[in-house]
Structure 1
């Protein structure tokens, strides 16, 4: 057929497999404009209508809206441009659906409280930026008018919960609990005390790595002591707590100072606050970080050892 061949809607339907109703709809929307009309007034279409209909069907099957399809057909937008934009939009939609699926499964696992249900609803509808803002607003509120330790506040801001694109129900539950914890007045007070304590004490350059090492060594040694049935007041227990005391003393350059025992006890009480420890455990679950061992029993043992008054602290 030559370029002057014209097709009726019925002929286009037979050639494309689209219904007459669909082609008429596309024609009304300007997707496939008629090239002419028959003597009886029926719409007739040129050869390009076949190509336009095939492309329109493909783009619609991919989920593009009619306005975008028309822009492509009228050369107002390129196919790579609109498909990339649509793929990006689909990425957002897929993440949203995966999150909602995890929220539904979290609800199905147990009967949440009214507050938890409200947080789950928020989680299912908030953007990532809005999710982060819940925690950043909490930190702003905790340290408002408390310019006591900028480094500590910066640390808190750097460790934010980031749910993965396809979270598990456990991660969703951890997010809900963490946001609920951020609303706890006792936890807010704990964070302020921690910032105050660390603001007045000299700390090594890599405080995070140091604490990790100290906690690991403390855990290993105290586990050995507990397994052996040692008590802090026993001879071996005293030697153990002595070595741990020296480790802290050397690390914080506080050896030989008369108030070291009191300083250590105050520091341990702060760092073993159950709210603070739970916060970091939940953060690790949400972000998929390796699980940290529970430090409360370790620090409790260490605190008991120092509290007996039988532990000498000297430079190691």
Structure 2
């Protein structure tokens, strides 16, 4: 094509697919100024203006505003710089849209009221730092002021809700439920009782940690009893209970006697709030971790067996 060829606005519109009105707007704002004018005063554009107009259309299709486009055309910023910045902005918009989609799907699943939907939207929009502060405030309120089990508190602080950029509706739902749970005054009071009990135990010399091994022992031992249908109040439960209390006595360096069983029963009742297990279940869903099987059945069996087979007396703590 001859580089000296000039185009009218109409010809430019036919070549680019843009409307005459749009090209005139770009011309009036100086983004694609006319190269010349005809003797009759009509605007004329050269091949460079055509290329400039093609670039403007491409940048607009990509969502850039006219101020940025002008900077590109005037070579104040490079195309790669603009592309990188715009890609980052689009990524943020995509994350927002994905989050909104997940909230709407969770609302549809829950059958939420307008008030609940508003709460879900606000909670879902919290940043990672804001979610961490939310949970840390809960931990501070429930464990603050107590010399509780340091390993347990550290475990709670290390397990923060990390809602992904593209959450599933059940992850949004789990985060909302976790937020509601941690704001529940009754649950907070229950966790404070747990912290107070841990502090009292530490004051008496218990520095034995998290006792994952004991949890596994109870899970495996009682799990087998449940599998074969042994009731906690039955005579068949006695040797199972004896084996478990012996293991606790060994771990805590205590005599395996009635006092140990009363102490253990108190310990299980304080730690046995099902909402505590729900807390960890929700965290697993939010973070995409494998959700562990519930320990409630085995510890319920253990607690009932202790109540049944332990003589009644004032509990020793």
| TM score, norm. by length of structure 1 | 0.83
Query: What is aligned with 1:313?
Result: none
C-alpha distance in 1 between matches for 2:247 and 2:76? 70
Q: Is the 8 A contact 1:152 1:195 kept in 2?
A: no
Structure 2 residue 50 is the aligned partner of structure 1 residue 50 = yes
Aligned partner of residue 44 in structure 2, secondary structure: strand
CA offset at residue 273 of structure 1? 0.8
Alignment of structure 1 residues 1-316 onto 2, 5 Å: 3-113=3-113, 116-144=116-144, 146-149=145-148, 151-199=151-199, 200-201=201-202, 202-204=206-208, 207=210, 210-211=211-212, 213-232=213-232, 234=234, 236-251=236-251, 253-256=252-255, 259-307=259-307, 308-309=309-310
Q: 1:189 to 1:87 in 2, by over 3 A?
A: same
* Secondary structure at the counterpart of residue 33 of structure 1: coil
Root-mean-square deviation (Å): 2.8
Distance 1:114 1:60, change over 3 A: closer
C-alpha offsets along residues 220-255 of structure 1, whole Å, 9 cap, x if unaligned? 32132133333445554222122222333444x434
* Structure 2: runs of 5+ lacking an equivalent: 312-317
SS at match of 1:44: strand
Q: Which runs of 5+ in 1 are unaligned?
A: 311-316
SS at match of 1:191: helix
Query: CA shift at 1:195, angstroms?
Result: 2.6
Aligned length: 304
Q: What is the alpha-carbon distance in structure 1 between the residues aligned to residue 30 and residue 151 of structure 2?
A: 61
Deviates most, 172-181 or 253-262: 253-262
Give the Å deviation of 1:95.
1.9
**C-alpha separation between the residues in 1 aligned to 2:225 and 2:151?**
36
3-state SS of the aligned residue for 2:230?
coil
Change (3 A) 1:25 1:204: farther
In structure 2, do the counterparts of structure 1 residues 23 and 124 end up closer, same or farther at CA, with 3 Å as the change threshold? farther
Aligned to 1:314: none
Secondary structure at 2:263's aligned position in 1?
A: helix
Do the aligned residues in 2 keep the contact of 1:8 with 1:44 (CA within 8 Å)? yes
**How does the TM-score come out when normalised to structure 2?**
0.83
Q: What displacement does 1:188 show?
A: 0.9
